[in-house]
Amino acid sequence: MIIILKSKVSKKDEKAVLNEIKRLGYRPHVMHGVARTVIGAIGDETRHPTLEALRAWPQVESVMPVQKRHKLTSREANPENSTVKVRDVVIGGPELIVMAGPCSVESESQLMTTAHAIAKSGARILRGGAFKPRTSPYEFQGLGEKGLKLLAKARRETGLPVITELLSEDHVELVAEYADILQIGARNAQNFQLIIAAAKTGLPILLKRGLSMKIEEWLLAGEYVLAHGNRQVMFCERGIRTFETYTRNTIDLAAVPILKKETHLPVVVDPSQGGGRADLVAAICLGAVAMGADALLIEVHPNPREAWSDGAQQLTPAGFADLMAGLRPVAGAVGRTLRKPDAG
Amino acid sequence: MIIILKSKVSKKDEKAVLNEIKRLGYRPHVMHGVARTVIGAIGDETRHPTLEALRAWPQVESVMPVQKRHKLTSREANPENSTVKVRDVVIGGPELIVMAGPCSVESESQLMTTAHAIAKSGARILRGGAFKPRTSPYEFQGLGEKGLKLLAKARRETGLPVITELLSEDHVELVAEYADILQIGARNAQNFQLIIAAAKTGLPILLKRGLSMKIEEWLLAGEYVLAHGNRQVMFCERGIRTFETYTRNTIDLAAVPILKKETHLPVVVDPSQGGGRADLVAAICLGAVAMGADALLIEVHPNPREAWSDGAQQLTPAGFADLMAGLRPVAGAVGRTLRKPDAG
Amino acid sequence: MIIILKSKVSKKDEKAVLNEIKRLGYRPHVMHGVARTVIGAIGDETRHPTLEALRAWPQVESVMPVQKRHKLTSREANPENSTVKVRDVVIGGPELIVMAGPCSVESESQLMTTAHAIAKSGARILRGGAFKPRTSPYEFQGLGEKGLKLLAKARRETGLPVITELLSEDHVELVAEYADILQIGARNAQNFQLIIAAAKTGLPILLKRGLSMKIEEWLLAGEYVLAHGNRQVMFCERGIRTFETYTRNTIDLAAVPILKKETHLPVVVDPSQGGGRADLVAAICLGAVAMGADALLIEVHPNPREAWSDGAQQLTPAGFADLMAGLRPVAGAVGRTLRKPDAG
Amino acid sequence: MIIILKSKVSKKDEKAVLNEIKRLGYRPHVMHGVARTVIGAIGDETRHPTLEALRAWPQVESVMPVQKRHKLTSREANPENSTVKVRDVVIGGPELIVMAGPCSVESESQLMTTAHAIAKSGARILRGGAFKPRTSPYEFQGLGEKGLKLLAKARRETGLPVITELLSEDHVELVAEYADILQIGARNAQNFQLIIAAAKTGLPILLKRGLSMKIEEWLLAGEYVLAHGNRQVMFCERGIRTFETYTRNTIDLAAVPILKKETHLPVVVDPSQGGGRADLVAAICLGAVAMGADALLIEVHPNPREAWSDGAQQLTPAGFADLMAGLRPVAGAVGRTLRKPDAG
């Protein structure tokens, strides 16, 4: 920690700060500058109490951390890339993985049509919401267990592993029974109790970025998973909230290279939530792949015009096939492979 | 709903939109303007499926709701102010209610000292965190049940009702056994499963605003509580996340008069989280009261310099007494009463 | 400056940083911590080149300034409050000053009606836009010199000094001929050439906060005025841009006590631009005054329903009179006086 | 315009709104819905006064525009792509154009070294700041005319056209004498007087996005240029201001496909300002090109460690050569050509 004192602090007040630093187990190191006195507090910040309370001292101007707060998720701790393995699919390796499917599971025919279509186009994982977090209590909240059963059936028929959102601690056992990957949604991105419960299932976890989450906070949410013994974590950029209203959210694609630098874990991009508009999905996917994303999470619906949720951002199966065709050369240009259509 | 078509849409494409509107149970009403065609879809938006999926249609430029989405929380539905009653305390009436106490419950002496001090200065409700949501898994997570027991003891000694945060569905029964008011924190502001579970206890709920929550979304989170049969809801402004880094958050005090206009439920302001700095707490309280807040939620610690969490934003008991003295004339100027010191 | 090195930096790379620090005229001071090496660069940051380019060095993690960048505007440099004097009006003293008038000057009758009405209610300064910055080139751009002449006439008739916006370097002489205070608008908040040109007139300057301006940047924009020899500066909070769409901007009222702490110069609040809604103006004024604002800048129009710009946020003269009546007790509660109605 | 009335509005109040709509030259069209009455005002919004002042009427809930406000810049008005021609360089055609050079012109050797190096690597246009807008008055403000002369010399030596920033109306003639493209910086993005003055030179204009500028506002700033008779406009995304602090700004790459949809004019991306970090420049360029950018604007300095401004975000000539090599396959994958190294 670095502690900066206010200007014109008395010797006595400076001494008090030094004593407090020592009391908490750090070794203080004083620098008297031209305009300010700066104190370095030397010691392991993870083993001693935080010095942040010094901010409340009247003689203190500011307190700044020196050490990074994320440890197990950090690239420093683990210089090599980690991969997440789901059945026969490896996320974080040379293959670009596409996860696709409807926003919400609505019916057997809707889901099966979608699952077969995306598998044919080269998707490797099926997404679909059975429990839906909705802004209003009057909106469709998902089919629940019935939706999970349909996802399991689609997996049997297509061989695609399944990712679905977990939004309640009370559903952990139920959802874990059906899902191959647990998705933690943006609204629960700092619901640490849910994250811990998900971590304990041992299943891979996809952590969506919260709408107003700094990258450091996101890494710390991932740290909760690793600190609870589960190393199968992916970070999924899906847009942050800004003043711009043309798009539903502002997708922060620079987060992709940043995460690749800061963490060893795979990085996913969700272009559907990110832009909130079907007509932007293809361009965002191209950008994400060019910038190093390991996987994409794309909403596809057999008839988006009649979708029960988020119709405006879902692709048709034909649109998805076009997208995959357009992705292939860009993936190749950055050294990634992409499953061929009908290869399943 | 209002549907705006793109320019130069064919008769056939316009017809298709009209048919879809009818199919979903609305009556379409067409206006051919100079540059655009606009269609009104007449019908009760709460009884029919949403028309938002029309956004995905290529001939549609935009879809705009006409009706407000919050119903039970709305001032239209309930023109008179609602009050929340907690033991002998009424929030939302002529008395300005001050809730105060430490960020985290740390020990018996810390809590009792604070509780007696704030009661003496005129606070009516004791706050204190027993379960703490923390950005990093390596930070202090609260005393848990031991903290709840200390809060109950402080209530017995001082007569002050207790507000404490609920952050897990698994804790609902436990926390409800000790608390008089359940606080839903900013990070869980759209954790709807937790909100529903809290609502079902029948206890009053204080809903903090999420860091990137629009006022409409906040009202809809409150709508979840009322829709589950609990009308004892308060909205607590505690700052939103913006680009400004001088303060921890940007407190949106205009939310106070907006909420008083849009909802009949009481409005609370948390100046401690809002600014994140003890030296701004008094000014924010003065502003909040002048603008119509019904209650304040203030962090007080016997020794903020040694607090286990958020030391920089907690007041000392002496600072709190000064604050209460400064509040009195402003409360009076806007027609509110404030309990006198030592009146308890 | 504080320079934090990356972990595991070689002695040679550390040495190179130390040499660079010396080369630029600072004295380096090394602290070897547990996880990182931290270097303090001791020397006057205003007299030596910045060390920020060190951020580009591969062995450097981050570079943090220790000294505040604003000097002449800072409270440290000038512990006493400064006041701005405009004819017989003193801003920043015990009297709360209200500036009011139409968004745009539209006609003689519109301006004279407003000027007399606000003077009667206790306003001390007349505002009115003659040159208007408009988002679209197809919107009303102001009456120009004709508007300035009307403002001068209103001043002669009412005795109220005039504040009006300067938005072009080419208008400086013209506007300075008529205005008592030059307003720099939010869109020009970092148009430094305009600010310098305004400063050189010697007239008092009211600096509106830019829509995405940090408080530090705002103070530095003020620093441009003082560095060019003009000490007559006021800072005017008028809302920042956030994700919230209920209001046009999010008014950051905490900026009022922050500015009072950081600078000796007067602080003004514009509730009309801040909220963008006439029905919020009164509440924002009450909050601003309770929190320490020295002056208010309020839009008033004889018939807001027919205003040529920003009709939705302008008060009627009757609404303004009510607002002044409501302000009086709150101003009194915080020790400020407010001119009585008809006292002019 | 669409006008939505509040619930329970009397016939008389509704009538008053209808009369006002007629008075302003529009034809009102009433729809009585279940919860609200909606009125369409039919007429050309560019030829009649705005109806926005109706927002101030007590019986009006909201007023929504139907027509887009940008006309000359819109894709609707001009379905084909427009190109900008600068000497032999065409921006907006099949060739991906790279503009590169130092943040600030510092000296002859610095500029010539950079200009020759970037030309060799395939850049087509030389950038360099002669007048610099700086947050603090104490920072380096640019070499001024001396810098312009050096840019002209570099153009003679390398054949590269020159882009440089215009930041004062007083400099228009001077800068126009030397520059091939005038850059309007982010801080002046709504300095309409400067934009108009730039437009009148007839030179191509590159409009950087303001830090808190919505896309619609940006298009309207471009509209100012076209409305003043200059069609040579490019839009340059350079990041918006958000809560994220890891990067200097949040680059909004989705703006690229949005602009390609909304306007016929070329789209440029500045990865240096966008991320504020040299280590992110390459990834942002790859994403921008994959998403459809017509040109890139990249900061290159022979020795970024010693740059007088923004050292942390400038590439070395070697880094720039690597970037160009990496760009080539991605440009090819999306059907763009890129000048070969040493082809000049």
The answer to whether the CB atoms of D330 and A332 lie below 8 A apart is no
Count of alpha carbons within 13 Å of D325, Cβ hemisphere only?
7
Q: What is the pLDDT of residues A86-115, one digit of tens each?
A: 999 999 999 999 999 999 999 999 999 999
Give the whole-angstrom CA distance, residue A103 versus residue B204: 34
Q: Which of D31, D34, D243 sits opposite B242 (nearest CB)?
A: D243
Q: Are residues C30 and C146 in the same domain?
A: no
Neighbour subunits, C (≥3 Cβ pairs < 8 A): A, B, D
* CA–CA separation, C42 and D37 (whole Å): 68
CB contact A29 to C (< 8 Å): yes
Judge contact between D206 and D236, C-beta under 8 A: yes
Look at B2 and D2 and tell me if their CB atoms are within 8 Å: yes
Pair type for strands B60-64 and B2-5: antiparallel
* A254 with D332: Cβ contact below 8 A: no
Q: How close, in Å, is residue B245 to chain C by CA atoms?
A: 7
Asked if A279 and D291 come within 8 Å (Cβ–Cβ), the reply is no
Verify whether the Cβ–Cβ distance C254 to B283 is below 8 Å.
yes
In-domain check, residue C74:
no
Contact A252 D246 (CB under 8 A): no
Are the beta carbons of B341 and B122 closer than 8 angstroms? yes
Q: Do C307 and D53 touch (CB under 8 A)?
A: yes
B53, B240, B311 ranked by CB distance to A56: nearest: B311
C312-329 pLDDT, tens digit per residue, is 788 999 999 999 999 999
Angstroms from B61 CA to nearest CA on chain D? 9
pLDDT at C50 over 80: no
Task: Give the Cα separation of D296 and D338 in Å (integer).
Answer: 11
Decide which of A51 and A123 is more confident.
A123
CA nearest neighbour of D83 among D256, D297, D233: D233
Contacts 24+ apart (CB under 8 A), A18-26: A20/A54, A20/A57, A20/B305, A21/A51, A21/A54, A24/A48, A24/A49, A24/A51, A25/A49, A26/A1, A26/A51
Q: In this complex, is the C-beta atom of A2 within 8 Å of any C-beta atom belonging to chain C? A: yes
Confidence band for B301, pLDDT divided at 50, 70 and 90 = very high
Asked if D157 and D187 sit in the same domain, the reply is yes
| Contact assignment for C43 to A34 by CB distance below 8 Å | yes
A149, pLDDT greater than 80: yes
pLDDT at D139: 83
Q: What's the CATH code of the domain at C58?
A: 3.30.70.1140
Residue A344 sits at the chain C interface (C-beta within 8 Å): no
Higher local confidence (pLDDT), A306 or A337: A337
In a domain, A194, yes or no: yes
B300: tokens are 């007080």
Indicate the pLDDT class of residue B274, thresholds 50, 70 and 90. confident
| C341 within a domain of the structure (yes/no) | no
* DSSP calls for C171-240: GHHHHHHH-SEEEEPGGGTT-HHHHHHHHHT-S-EEEEPPTT--HHHHHHHHHHHHHTT---EEEEE--B
Whether chain C has a CB inside 8 Å of the CB on A44: the answer is yes
Q: Quick check: is A38 in a domain? A: yes
Among chain A residues, the shortest Cα distance to D245 is held by A214
**Lowest-confidence region among B75-84, D89-98, D204-213:** B75-84
Task: Return mean pLDDT, chain C.
Answer: 92
B303 pLDDT more than 60: yes
Dist CA D197 CA A91 (whole Å):
53
* D162-183 as b/e: b if 16+ CB within 10 A: bbbbbbbbebbebbbebbbbbb
Contact C40 A34 (CB under 8 A): no
Which is higher by pLDDT, A127 or A26?
A127
The count of structural domains within chain D is 2
Q: How far off is chain C from B332, nearest CA to CA, in Å?
A: 8
Mean pLDDT of the region B285-295 = 98
Handedness of CA B103, B106, B108, B110 (dihedral sign): negative
Mean pLDDT: which of A303-317, B6-20, B91-105, D38-52 is highest? Answer: B91-105
C44 contacts on A by Cβ (under 8 Å): 34-35
Neighbours of chain B (3+ CB pairs under 8 A): A, C, D
**Following CA atoms B274, B276, B280, B284 in sequence, which dihedral angle do they give, to the nearest 10 degrees?**
10
Chain B and chain C share a number of CB contacts under 8 A equal to: 121
User: In the predicted model, is pLDDT for residue C48 greater than 70?
Assistant: no
DSSP for residue B190? T
Question: Helix or strand or coil: residue B80?
Answer: coil
Considering only the beta carbons, identify the residue of A250, A252, A333 that sits closest to D333: A333
Asked whether residue A202 is assigned to any structural domain, the reply reads yes
The mean-pLDDT minimum among A46-50, C119-123, C273-277 falls in A46-50
Sole residue written with tokens 């940083």: C17
- Interface subset of C 224-283, CB within 8 angstroms of D: 224, 227-228, 240-241, 277-278
Same domain, C250 and C158: yes
pLDDT, position C179: 98
Q: Is the same domain home to D183 and D317?
A: yes
Say if residue D90 is in the same domain as residue D58: no
Q: How confident is the model at residue D46 (pLDDT cuts 50, 70, 90)?
A: low
Residue D256 CA to residue B249 CA, distance in Å, equals 31
Name which of B212, B242, B283 is nearest C291 (Cβ-Cβ).
B283
> Quick one: average pLDDT of A181-193?
97
Q: pLDDT category, D66, cuts 50, 70, 90?
A: confident
Structure tokens at B330: 């402003």
Q: Which residue of D has its CA nearest to C312?
A: D56
Cβ atoms within 10 Å, residue C113: 18
Q: What is the mean pLDDT of residues B20-49?
A: 82
Q: Which domain holds residue C88?
A: 84-333
* CB-CB under 8 Å, C247 with B254: yes
Contact of C43 with chain A, judged by CB distance below 8 Å, is answered with yes
CB C132 within 8 A of CB C140: yes
What distance in Å separates the CA atoms of residue C95 and residue B231, rounded to the nearest whole number?
Answer: 45
Find which of A133-142, B35-44, C320-329, D137-146 is predicted with most confidence, using mean pLDDT: C320-329
D250 and D135 co-located in one domain:
yes
Nearest to A256, CA basis, from C167, D20, D246: D246
Q: Exposed, middle or buried: residue A340 (CB in 10 Å: 0-12, 13-18, 19+)?
A: exposed
Q: Which of B16, B34, B64 represents a domain boundary (last residue)?
A: B64
pLDDT digits (tens, 9 = 90+) for C120-135: 999 999 999 999 988 8
Q: Is D139 on the interface with A (CB under 8 A)?
A: no
**D109-128 pLDDT tens trace:** 999 999 999 999 999 999 99
Using DSSP bridges, classify how beta strands C37-42 and C2-5 pair: parallel, antiparallel or unpaired. antiparallel
**Diameter of chain D measured on Cα atoms:** 77
Is residue D50 in some structural domain?
yes
What is the identity of the amino acid at D284? I
Q: Which of B4, B31, B76 is the closest to D42 by Cβ?
A: B31
pLDDT digits (tens, 9 = 90+) for C21-36: 898 888 888 888 877 8
Name D64's Cβ contacts closer than 8 Å, sequence gap at least 6: B2, B64, D1, D2, D4
B139 touches chain A (CB under 8 A): yes
Q: What is the ipTM of this complex?
A: 0.93
Whether A182 and A325 map to the same domain: the answer is yes
Average pLDDT value for residue range B93-106: 97
B118 with B243, same domain: the answer is yes
- Give how far B322 is from chain D: nearest CA, Å: 34
Which residues partner with A104 through β-bridges?
A129
Give the residue-averaged pLDDT of B212-233. Answer: 96
Residue type, C77: A
Question: Any bridge partners for residue B97, and if so which?
Answer: B295
Q: How far apart are CA C288 and CA C338, in angstroms?
A: 14
pLDDT for D91 equals 98
Confirm if A29 and A37 have CB atoms less than 8 A apart. no
Instruction: Using pLDDT thresholds of 50, 70 and 90, give the confidence band for residue A47.
Output: low
**Contact B75/B258 with Cβ under 8 angstroms?**
no
Give dist(CA B308, CA B140) in Å, integer: 7
For residues D138 and C228, give the distance between their C-alpha atoms in angstroms, rounded to a whole number.
11
Within this chain, do residues A267 and A315 fall inside the same structural domain, yes or no?
yes
Q: How far apart are CA D264 and CA D81, in angstroms?
A: 5
Among the ranges A27-31, C137-141, D19-23, D174-178, which has the highest mean pLDDT value? Answer: D174-178
Listed residue (A204, A234, A229, A232) closest to A219, CA to CA: A234
Does residue B299 form part of some domain? yes
Please indicate, yes or no, whether residues A30 and A105 belong to a single structural domain of this protein: no
Alpha carbon of A93 to those of A126, A297, A331, B84: distances in Å? 19, 16, 13, 56
- Alpha-carbon distance C156 to C159, whole Å? 6
Answer whether D227 sits within 8 Å of C137, measured CB to CB. yes
Average pLDDT over residues C175-197: 97
The pLDDT value recorded for residue A46 is 65
A40/C38 touch (CB, cutoff 8 Å), yes or no: yes
Find the mean pLDDT for residues C254-268: 97
Query: Closest Cα to residue B229, out of B259, B205, B260?
Result: B205
Please report, for the domain that includes residue A120, its CATH number.
Answer: 3.20.20.70
Residues of C with Cβ-Cβ distance to B74 under 8 angstroms: none
Structure tokens at D166: 């215009």
Instruction: Check whether residue C58 and residue C115 sit in a common domain.
Output: no
Chains that touch D (3 or more CB pairs under 8 A): A, B, C
Give C71's pLDDT tier (boundaries 50, 70, 90).
Answer: confident
The C-alpha of A107 sits at a distance from chain C's nearest C-alpha, in angstroms, of: 35
Q: Which of A217-221, B8-12, B97-101 has the lowest mean pLDDT?
A: B8-12
B245 and B171 both lie in a single domain: yes
How many Cβ atoms sit within 10 Å of the Cβ of residue B19? 11
Residue D278: inside a domain, yes or no? yes
Interface B–D counts its CB contacts (< 8 A) at 62
Asked whether the predicted pLDDT for residue B344 surpasses 70, the reply is no
Query: Are B242 and C242 an interchain contact pair (Cβ–Cβ within 8 Å)?
Result: yes
Round the average pLDDT of chain D to a whole number and report it: 92
Q: Which residues of A touch B306 (CB under 8 A)?
A: 53
CA distance A147 to chain B (A): 18
More confident residue, B279 or B155: B155
Asked if A30 reaches chain C (Cβ–Cβ under 8 Å), the answer is: no
pLDDT per position as a tens digit, C146-184 = 999 999 999 999 999 999 999 999 999 999 999 999 999
DSSP D249: S
Using CA of residue D303, residue D305, residue D307, residue D310, what is the dihedral sign? Answer: positive
